[in-house]
Amino acid sequence: MQYWIRKSLVLGVITALSGCSVFINNAHDEKNYRVSEQIKVPADLKKPYQDPEYIMTPAQYSQAMPSDIVRPPAQVLNVAMGSWVEEGDKQTRIFFDKSDGIDDLKSFMWTTLNELLSEKQVTATDNNEAKGELSTDWYSIHTVEEVWFWEEEKEVSKQKFKFTIEQKEHQRTASMTTELLDYQSKDEILTPILRQQLEAGALNAYVSQFDFKYRQLAVEMNKQKGIVSLELGFDNQGNAALVTEQSLEAIFERFSSFIEKLSFTINELDNDKGLITATYEKPDSSVWDSIWGDDIAELPLESGQYQMLLSKNSTGGTSITWMDEQGDTLEPGTMNDLQQALVKVLRKKGIDI
C-alpha cells in the first residue's frame, strides 16, 4: 500500500526546519540615513518657522549603531488605590494617599516593599526603615524570554536599586522613589533612557504589589463591616451560584432580611438545611417613584416562588444557589444578570448584609 503525502505538508515541514533561512531578521540589515537639503521657498513666499533645536546639517549617515536608536521613556503606572504621579516629575516616583483601612501609610508601604523583595527572592544590602531607605542586591527586572533552538540565549541584565519612602508632615501622603545604583550587562550599554525604563519597571513592580496588598486589606475590611461581596461562582455541586467570603452562620439571617427589601416575601426559613423559600413579586414602578427618588430595584426574575440554598464552600465562605419553585437551578446567564443587579442595589443603597 502506498501512502501519499500532501505537498502542503512537505512544504510546511521544510519551512519549519529551515527557519533560519526563511525568516529574515531585517534588524541586522545595513541602513543608510541621509539628511537632505531644506526645501527652497520661492522669494515671494514666506519661509515657515523651524525650531532651531531640530535643524540638522545636510549629510550622509551610515550604519546607525543600536545605541543610537530612540527609545520611548517608560510610564509609571498609578493603578493602585490612592496612587498618583506628578506631571513632569524628573524623578522616577509615585505618590500614595492614605486610603481607608491603612493605619500607618509609611509602615504599610515599607511592609509592601519587603514582601515584593521576598517574592522576587532579592536581599537587601542596606535597610533603614527609620529613614525609609532600602538598597537591593543584584536582581533582574526583565526575565529571560524563550528563544528558538537555533538562537543563543542572551544574558539578562542585572541591576541594583535604591527605594526611598518619603512621608509628608501630615502623614496622609507618602511617595516611593526608585533609583538605579548599579548595572551589569554584556549585551546592552546603559543609556539614560534605559536607566529610566529600568527604574520605572522596578517602581511599577512595587505599585502592583501595593495594589495586591490593599485589595487583600479591602476584603478583610468588608468581612469586619459585614458587607458581603457577591461574586458569580459555583457551589460544591458545580452549579452556578452567588459566592461570598462570609460564613454561612453570618450570612443566613442577613441575606433573608436583604431580599425582603427587594420585593420578596419570605415563606419559610430552614436553618438546618440553609434553605430560604420566598415569593418574588415583580414591582410596578411608576413615574412618581422616579420623581421622588424611590426607584424600586427590579431583578431579572419572573414573579413566583424561589428557593435559595446557602452552603459552606471549600474556601470557608458561602455559596448561594438560586432555584425555581420546582427546585431547578437557574441558568448561568440568569445568575450573571442577577448578581449584577444585586451588587448594583448594594452599592446604590449602601445596604449592609
Q: What is the pLDDT along the chain (353 residues), one digit of tens a residue?
A: 444 444 444 444 433 443 443 334 444 444 455 666 777 888 888 888 878 877 777 766 555 555 445 567 889 999 999 999 999 899 999 999 999 889 899 999 999 999 999 999 999 999 999 999 999 999 887 655 554 555 555 557 899 999 999 999 988 999 999 999 999 998 889 999 999 999 999 999 999 999 999 998 987 777 666 555 788 888 888 888 999 888 888 888 888 888 888 889 999 999 899 999 999 998 876 544 544 445 566 788 999 999 999 999 887 789 999 999 999 999 988 999 999 888 888 777 655 55
Identify whether the C-beta of residue 353 lies closer than 8 Å to the C-beta of residue 228. Answer: yes
Please provide the CATH number assigned to the domain covering 83-147+156-224: 3.30.530.50
Domain limits of the chain? Answer: 83-147+156-224, 231-349
- Of 105, 136, 107, 135, the closest CA to residue 120 belongs to 136
Topology of domain 231-349 in CATH is TATA-Binding Protein (3.30.310)
Total residues belonging to the chain: 353
Q: What is the CA angle 130-103-110, rounded to 5?
A: 35
Q: What is the pLDDT of residue 181?
A: 96
> 105-120 vs 192-225: helix axis angle to the nearest 10?
120
3-state DSSP percent of the chain in helix, strand and coil, to 5: 30, 25, 45
Q: What is the pLDDT of residue 126?
A: 92
- In the chain, the amino acid numbered 156 is V
- In the chain, the amino acid numbered 244 is T
The CA–CA distances, whole Å, from 280 to 55, 241, 262, 300, 339 equal: 75, 18, 8, 11, 16
Give SS3 for 121: coil
Q: What is the pLDDT of residue 155?
A: 58
Alpha helices (H) in 34-174, listed in sequence order: 105-120
Give SS3 for 159: strand
- Of 214, 211, 215, 181, the closest CA to residue 198 belongs to 181
Which helix (H) or strand (E) segment is 322 a member of? strand 318-324
